[in-house]
Chain A
Amino acid sequence: MFNLYETKTAKILKISDHVPGIKLFELGFDKMHFQLRFDEDARIYPGQFIMLSLPGFGEAPFAPCNKPGKNLELCIRAIGKLTNRMHILKVGDKIGIRGPFGIGWPIAGAQVQSSKFKVKNEEKKNLLIVVGGLGLIPLRTLILGKNEFLGKDAKIQIFYGAKHPSEMLFRNEYESWQKDGVNLQLSIDKVCEDWKGCVGLVTKLFEVVSVVADARAFVCGPPVMYKAVLEKLKKYGFADEDIYLSFERRMHCGVGVCQHCGIGSHYVCKQGPVFRYDQIKNVQGAI
């Protein structure tokens, strides 16, 4: 019988020092049949997650963020037992991965897994991404694979809020994103030297930038962010069915059994982590 707690071994191929306290790990798998890739015969879809396992230090869920067709990448902040351990590992060290789990962002192909995520409003081809802090990570694959996932004509606008300019993730890529037609809007929480852009929470951007038309909104960030962002989205006329939110929760099993990630009648690991707003707006404790 298949053991769902068993992990596959992956090797750390490259570590990029990104932002203080945050590292990007590129991973390769020992066996070709377990290449976790975002590509045509995708084994994994943007917005899904994997469980990272470091025996002795436990397991936790992470969303891969690499470019489609490339090696799996995890962007990890050293914050607890597991992630601090991850940060002292070196190129060549081996780790465990299980998954992928859950349902990711509603894009062509990904809906196959779950009919409930069929995009209702087909003419809304554009995308507004509203993210805060580490919430940018589960959307990077989508940004890097924009043409494959959304089509050449689709526009992406990103509202990204961070504490401080030095904490902005993937800074070295912004130029190439913009070249690909991504409209990137940044905001930092507090005034600081050398920053000429928007200051305020990510919701401030709604007031200073015109929001892309004909768009669905994908939202991901720290728990406190959701309420405020939803308020703005509703104010700007987004229908509940056009808003998708990725939730963070504690997880132990990843397959809808252990109960830690339960919200209402759903499991974030199984029916999520991405939910359409109308499905969970009346669920106690979801937002």
Chain B
Amino acid sequence: MLTRHKLEDFILFLQKNGWDVFGTQKRENLLEVDHLKYPADLKLEKGVPFYSFKRFFIPEKEKLFEYKGHILKAEELAPKKTAILGMNLLDLKSVLLYDQVFEKDPYYQARRRNLLIVGHSLIPDMSQNIFEMTLEEDILEHLSFDIFLAEMSFAKVPAIRTKKAKLINEEKDNGEYAVFTGSLLGQKILNDFGYKDYINIQFSGPVKEGKLDERMIKIQDKLKNKHNQKIWDELGARCIECGKCTIVCPTCFCFRIDDKAGLENSEGERQRCWDSCFYQEFSEVALGHKFLNDTAKRIHFWYYHKFARIPEEFNFMGCVGCGRCAAVCPVGIDIAEVLKNIENS
């Protein structure tokens, strides 16, 4: 068992060994992901952080090239070793998507090789877990992580909600963790730290063999084959296209590529940065035609991507069910409700 005390030692160990250590922390009652100044600041708890962990995998803005005249020069890719502690199961799911989408992207791959992902087992409450993800026995085989900390109240009594188990769960930070590794990197680091009491889990792909998610199939079928314009017209009338949902969403990864001129003539940077399909120019082509030319089309595009196009490409949903989009939406569009409407349409 890894005690809280030992976990904090491990954080110090990472810091001493050149890792830039980030972790979930409490700031004015909000769970945030930030630099871990003191190991004691790490807060492992049920909720999902306000912002997702997306920026560690796909930064808001990154330099692809420096250019001078017509010549592009790629930066040498040597990202800093970064450890992220406290990824919950839902956010861990989004890593599966990043890994697939950016499989052939050298910038992503270089960053990914230098990331240490430490997940934990505390499951968010329903409003932040709309697909009711639970800690099933084989769940770790289908997640991508380096180290996973299973809170003991769950590890021992997963289903039985005894008074005692609940109590331990609430006092989680004093708890003990069963430790799992999901990669060679995870094993190596624990060995170096001197901790051997872990079980290694062999990753066996993002999707359980022969077991596609039924809800995914149903929603995908509705979107693909039974388009219901009424749903999108109603949403289009409500949505104000602020794009907040795309910023907090762990699985919104679309981007644009821009050239940013430097001070010297004909010098500058080619950058890749987050984009949002809610923005007007997202689909604009030469002469000004926009293929997504109203709000209804744009919000449909957002849902279609997550619940039809991604399932078609990768056999899993492009949504982890964290409910962040609903929490920030200024007009109260609730993804759980929208999905129910699609299913029942």
Measured between beta carbons, the chain A residues less than 8 angstroms from B289 are 222-223
The contact of A265 among B287, B297, B300, B312, by CB within 8 Å, is B312
A1 touches B72 (CB 8 A): no
B284 contacts the other chain (CB 8 A): yes
Task: Please report whether the interface of chain B is mostly helix, strand, loop or mixed according to DSSP.
Answer: mixed
Q: What is the number of residues of chain A that contact chain B, defined by CB distance less than 8 Å?
A: 43
- Give the complex CA separation of A223 and B270 in angstroms: 30
B285 touches A7 (CB 8 A): no
Q: What is the number of residues of chain B that contact chain A, defined by CB distance less than 8 Å?
A: 50
Mark interface residues in A8-20 (1 if CB within 8 Å of B CB, else 0): 0100000000000
Question: Closest A-chain residue to B297, C-beta based?
Answer: A285
Question: Closest A-chain residue to B290, C-beta based?
Answer: A250
A94 contacts the other chain (CB 8 A): yes
B-contacting 9-mer, from A49-57, A65-73, A121-129, A180-188 = A49-57
- Give the complex CA separation of A53 and B309 in angstroms: 29
Question: Closest B-chain residue to A251, C-beta based?
Answer: B285
- Give the complex CA separation of A114 and B120 in angstroms: 43
A59 contacts the other chain (CB 8 A): yes
Given known A2-B106, A284-B300, contact A260–B282 (CB-CB < 8 A): yes
Measured between beta carbons, the chain A residues less than 8 angstroms from B109 are 1
B16 contacts the other chain (CB 8 A): no
A250 touches B312 (CB 8 A): no
The contact of B258 among A3, A7, A58, A262, by CB within 8 Å, is A58
A257 touches B105 (CB 8 A): yes
A22 contacts the other chain (CB 8 A): no
B243 contacts the other chain (CB 8 A): no
Interface members, chain B 298-326 (any A CB < 8 Å): 300-301, 304-305, 308-309, 312-313
- Give the complex CA separation of A57 and B300 in angstroms: 31
Given known A250-B282, A264-B224, contact A258–B275 (CB-CB < 8 A): yes
Mark interface residues in B94-118 (1 if CB within 8 Å of A CB, else 0): 0000000110111001100000000
Given known A83-B286, A223-B289, contact A55–B259 (CB-CB < 8 A): yes
B256 contacts the other chain (CB 8 A): yes
A42 contacts the other chain (CB 8 A): no
B202 contacts the other chain (CB 8 A): no
A54 touches B70 (CB 8 A): yes
- Give the complex CA separation of A115 and B261 in angstroms: 43
The contact of B308 among A1, A94, A257, A264, by CB within 8 Å, is A264
- Which of A7, A55, A77, A93 has the most C-beta atoms of chain B within 10 angstroms of its own C-beta? A55
A253 contacts the other chain (CB 8 A): yes
- Give the complex CA separation of A149 and B304 in angstroms: 37
- Give the complex CA separation of A58 and B64 in angstroms: 13
- Give the complex CA separation of A58 and B65 in angstroms: 12
Q: Which residues of A contact B (CB under 8 A)?
A: 1-7, 9, 53-60, 77, 79-80, 83, 93-96, 222-223, 248-250, 252-253, 255, 257-260, 262-265, 282, 284-285
Q: Which residues of B contact A (CB under 8 A)?
A: 64-65, 67-72, 74, 101-102, 104-106, 109-110, 224-225, 227, 253-259, 261, 266, 268, 270, 275, 277, 282-287, 289, 291-292, 297, 300-301, 304-305, 308-309, 312-313
User: Can you offer 26 A-B residue contacts whose CB atoms are under 8 A?
Assistant: A1-B110, A2-B106, A5-B64, A7-B72, A54-B70, A55-B67, A55-B70, A60-B286, A94-B70, A95-B70, A222-B287, A222-B289, A223-B289, A250-B282, A250-B285, A252-B255, A253-B257, A259-B253, A259-B275, A259-B277, A259-B305, A260-B275, A265-B313, A284-B304, A285-B291, A285-B297
Known: A55-B266, A255-B104. 11 other contacts (CB 8 A): A2-B104, A4-B106, A94-B70, A249-B283, A250-B291, A258-B255, A258-B275, A265-B224, A284-B227, A284-B300, A285-B291
